[in-house]
Structure 1
Amino acid sequence: MKIAGLNLDIVWKNKEKNFQFIEEQFKSLEADIFLLPEMFSTGFCMDAAEVSDRNEESLEFLKKISKEKNAAVCGSAPVEQDGNFYNRMYFVQPGSEPVFYDKRHLFSFSGEDKVYTPGDKRIIVNYMGFRILLQVCYDLRFPVFARNNDDYDAILYVANWPEKRVGAWEHLLKARAIENLSFVFGLNRIGTDGNGLVYQESSHCFFADGTEISQKNGNIISAELNSDELKDFRQHFQFLNDRDDFEIKIK
């Protein structure tokens, strides 16, 4: 299974420009999953009442790309539903109902927790024989929530993780892969956002032993995920059998 992610310099609060650029970048690209960063349509913005989708604009765009490419498309967007705002990660694939995950760990340092509502479910999707855990940015800092209970093979992280803390992002991505014996694909944005925060190119895909397996070509980062290779590795190193048990309590 091939995943292709776009290192996107998100245009602040401008959905149409972002949609147009994304479509152009993906036009001649082939992949099984096309991955976009956190809040790909607006940037990581706390002006939720201004930027949030009310008519599923970002979801409709993902459906369009999925149909055009005959592939899955994944990314997060700000969404209003029933008077609440969510940082919602969509996984859209041809011929199936979209699946979504609402970001669980809201970034209190930026006030995200005062604006958006946290999700209360851990979401795993099945696609092309892979079980895929959906996660958003700050979720990366909380390993218990991402603990592999023999229920997934890969994690997709989408993020707006600033340059000043990028070392933590890169180390934690590798750690999640190693401790969970899983593929981990982390896609970060690039450029400068409307708050003046700078984002450097720092997207990666790691195998279960921490080896980088991604390739970069311009703004595109891609990786081939081999299920047989993962199965063989897990059979040889059965570390998950010795894991601790956790009970996740949703507040």
Structure 2
Amino acid sequence: MSDLTVTLIQANLHWENIPANLAMFDAKIDAIKEKTEVIILPEMFSTGFSMQPEKLAETMDGSAVQWMKKKAKEKNVIITGSLIIEEDGAYYNRLIWMLPNGQFGIYNKRHRFGFAGEDNHYAAGDKRLIAQVKGWKICLNICYDLRFPVWARNTIQDNGAPAYDVLVNVANWPERRSTPWRALLQARAIENQCYVIGVNRVGNDGNEIYHSGDSSLIDPVGEIIYHKSHDEDVFTYTLSRAHLDELRTKFPFMKDADKFMIL
């Protein structure tokens, strides 16, 4: 299987301003010079982490989803990130995996951040999304999901292969809890023997909560390939399939993992 090139965009979001955020990401994506195949945006990239879905939610036909569709086609890349979606009378913190041809996958955040009241405003998801591109399988999570390792647990399938190769977490994770963010990203890479990508925002949100970013890319043994604090940044990197396969062959510990089911 071939390598996979990904781009992480760490940005200071415009609070509850959808047009401003779409214009900002438009410019950042247009400025990418390297060839890339997947572009990863933060959690609630069009609004910031807002508890006002009644005011901000869009449908799947709304401006933010349409922007993702247009931009993915224009750049011939996959674009992913989460945003506030209203569907069937409920609000979701929904990650969208948008393909260049306009097809997409969705993941509704399972673990809502009760400390900030997210569970009072958003419905919970109950299904994982593992997307595929160029033979790579990518498990997609949102922010608080990172604290719950069972939900992200990689497992050996009937064909002998792990369920996924890359774990992506998009976030609005505050600086005051940056130590757990960094540690948990590294732990998920080690325990699941996969690449881990965490894309966070920077700057103050509308509640004057500061985010230091600390977006990271970590290899399957926990080595930190990329880490960026405080500043906006756009980082492109090619994930090595040979490196991943070599580590899994040399250290085949996943075959000894416990079997379990999430009820």
Residue 218 of structure 1 and its aligned partner are, at CA, apart by: 5.8
User: What is the distance in 2 between the residues matched to 1:100 and 1:160?
Assistant: 19
* Separation of aligned partners in 1, 2:14 and 2:52: 15
Which secondary structure does the structure 2 equivalent of 1:94 belong to?
coil
Structure 1 unmatched runs, 5+: none
Q: Is the 8 A contact 2:51 2:117 kept in 1?
A: yes
Is it true that 1:44 corresponds to 2:81 in the alignment?
A: no
Equivalent pairs counted in the alignment come to 249
Confirm or deny: 8 A CA contact 1:154 1:184 kept in the other structure: yes
Q: Give the AA of the match of 1:161.
A: W
Q: Give the Å deviation of 1:17.
A: 0.5
Q: Render the CA deviation track for 1:115-134: whole Å, top value 9, x for unaligned.
A: 10000101101112210001
Alignment of 1:128 with 2:131, yes or no, is: no
SS at match of 2:181: helix
Alpha-carbon separation, structure 1, partners of 2:232 and 2:128: 33
The TM-score with structure 1 as length reference comes to: 0.96
Q: Say whether residues 1:227 and 2:232 are aligned partners.
A: no
Q: Verify: 1:111 aligned to 2:123, yes or no.
A: no
Q: Which residue of 2 aligns with 1:27?
A: 30
Against the structure 1 CA distance between its residues 242 and 96, is the aligned structure 2 distance closer, same or farther, given a 3 Å change threshold? farther
Q: 5+ residue gaps in structure 2?
A: 156-161
Q: Distance in 1 between matches of 2:135 and 2:171?
A: 25
Is 1:144–1:246's contact at 8 Å kept on the other side of the alignment?
no
Would you say 1:191 and 2:203 are equivalent positions?
yes
What's the secondary structure of 1:73's corresponding residue?
strand
Counterparts of 2:31 and 2:25 in 1: how far apart (Å)?
Answer: 12
SS in 2 for 1:99: strand
Q: RMSD of the alignment, in Å?
A: 1.3
Distance 1:201 1:86 in 2: 23
| Residues 1:95 and 2:101 aligned together | yes
Question: What is the Cα deviation at residue 84 of structure 1?
Answer: 0.0
Q: Which residue of 1 is the match for residue 254 of structure 2?
A: 240
Report the AA paired with residue 246 of structure 2: D
CA deviation string 1:15-48 (max 9, x = no partner): 1010101110111313111110000000000001
Q: Please tell me whether the aligned partners of residues 13 and 205 of structure 2 are also in contact (alpha carbons under 8 angstroms).
A: yes
Measure the CA separation in 1 of the matches of 2:64 and 2:252: 40
Q: CA deviation at 1:235?
A: 0.7
The answer (yes or no) to whether the contact 2:92–2:108 under 8 Å persists in 1 is yes
Residues 39, 75 of structure 1: 8 Å contact kept: yes
Q: What is the rounded CA distance, in whole Å, between the counterparts of 1:233 and 1:13 in structure 2?
A: 43
